[in-house]
């Protein structure tokens, strides 16, 4: 055991967890996702012995992810039971869950891979050799959601998976479900903290995909999630409104401009004097 040090133990555990969540870290300086804030704070500030702290991290992550996987499986079975119509349709849904198709292959190449985050939207387009990609039919979103649920069992906090599933729920008018807004919002917050170039590329792909699939009301809902979760700079608001032509980003721009004009008119706020 001589070769095992606190540094090596942290490194081994971190590397293992990163196989399922590439944003995981126990270092404040490397934090990319708010999902790990509680663990980082506990590990950094607790007065407990190192072994107790590292075991807490392992057990907390295990509970939040491995046990979560079992809960996801039960949730899917409950959804299938609640939506039961006849034996044939149930059989088709279960077959979709286990079937290996192009969607599964694409998700395997995208999920849990930081360098492939930018490809998140490709699952929504049909790729045919020698032709431009075409938006997939909205009628296929139900079966796509079943396929995605299979990956959600293994990846609780993956940015691309949360974004994909949130988008599916939004397009299906199920945005207020447990897998809709609640999944998309943290994914958007993580994206808003990316490096400027990648941040801009991701926002552009989100707006472009929305343009192909979402209704006016759904675009307003997406705009609200974007603006309230990190994309609230004036340049962001302009880009969002240009892409979505929605009322929420427009209202946010008006409020921001009003605040700026008021500040200039009164020579700054009192606390700046």
In tens digits, the chain (273 residues) has pLDDT values of 457 898 899 999 999 888 888 888 888 777 666 777 888 888 888 888 999 999 999 888 888 777 776 777 777 777 777 777 788 877 787 777 778 889 999 999 999 898 999 999 999 999 877 788 899 999 999 999 989 988 888 888 899 999 999 999 999 999 998 889 999 999 999 999 999 999 999 999 999 999 999 999 999 999 999 999 999 999 999 999 999 999 999 999 999 888 777 776 665 554 454
Q: Is residue 24, in this structure, part of any structural domain at all?
A: yes
Same domain, 188 and 114: yes
What's the Rg (C-alpha) of the chain? Answer: 22
Predicted pLDDT of residue 273: 45
> pTM score, two decimals?
0.78
Q: Is residue 158, in this structure, part of any structural domain at all?
A: yes
For helices 196-213 and 216-227, the axis angle rounded to 10 degrees is 160
Same domain, 57 and 164: no
Q: Is residue 52, in this structure, part of any structural domain at all?
A: yes
Same domain, 1 and 98: no
Q: Is residue 77, in this structure, part of any structural domain at all?
A: no
Same domain, 119 and 13: no
Same domain, 145 and 260: yes
Domain boundary among 71, 94, 125: 71
Q: Is residue 78, in this structure, part of any structural domain at all?
A: no
Number of domains observed in the structure of the chain: 2
CA distance 107 to 255: 40
Domain boundary among 37, 71, 105: 71
For 135, list phi and psi in degrees, rounded to 5: -60, 135
Predicted pLDDT of residue 241: 97
Domain boundary among 24, 46, 71: 71
Predicted pLDDT of residue 79: 74
Same domain, 4 and 98: no
Same domain, 163 and 248: yes
Same domain, 210 and 104: yes
Q: Is residue 238, in this structure, part of any structural domain at all?
A: yes
Predicted pLDDT of residue 265: 65
Contacts of 134 (CB under 8 A, 6+ apart): 125, 126, 128
Residue 217's Cβ-count burial label (10 Å; 0-12, 13-18, 19+) is exposed
Partners of residue 125 on adjacent β-strands: 135
Same domain, 90 and 209: yes
Same domain, 204 and 138: yes
Identify the domain containing residue 33 by its residue range.
Answer: 1-71
Same domain, 131 and 248: yes
Q: Is residue 267, in this structure, part of any structural domain at all?
A: yes
């Amino acid at each position: 055991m001589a070769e095992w040090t606190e540094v090596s133990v942290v490194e081994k555990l971190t590397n293992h967890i990163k196989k399922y969540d590439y944003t995981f870290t126990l270092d404040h300086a490397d934090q990319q996702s708010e999902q790990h804030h509680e663990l980082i704070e506990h590990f950094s500030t607790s007065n407990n012995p190192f072994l107790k702290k590292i075991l807490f991290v392992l057990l907390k992550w295990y509970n939040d992810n491995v046990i979560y996987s079992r809960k996801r499986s039960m949730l899917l079975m409950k959804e299938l039971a609640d939506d039961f119509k006849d034996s044939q349709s149930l059989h088709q849904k279960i077959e979709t869950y286990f079937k290996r198709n192009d969607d599964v292959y694409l998700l395997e190449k995208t999920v849990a891979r930081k360098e492939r985050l930018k490809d998140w939207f490709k699952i929504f387009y049909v790729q045919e050799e020698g032709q431009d990609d075409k938006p997939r039919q909205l009628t296929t979103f139900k079966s796509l959601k079943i396929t995605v649920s299979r990956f959600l069992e293994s990846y609780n906090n993956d940015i691309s998976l949360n974004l994909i599933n949130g988008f599916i729920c939004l397009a299906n008018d199920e945005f207020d479900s447990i897998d809709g807004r609640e999944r998309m919002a943290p994914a958007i917050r993580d994206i808003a903290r990316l490096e400027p170039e990648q941040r801009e590329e991701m926002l552009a792909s989100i707006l472009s995909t929305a343009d192909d699939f979402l209704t006016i009301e759904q675009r307003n809902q997406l705009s609200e999630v974007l603006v309230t979760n990190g994309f609230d700079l004036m340049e962001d608001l302009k880009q969002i409104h240009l892409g979505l032509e929605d009322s929420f980003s427009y209202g946010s721009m008006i409020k921001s401009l009003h605040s700026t004009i008021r500040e200039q008119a009164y020579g700054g706020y009192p606390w700046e004097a």
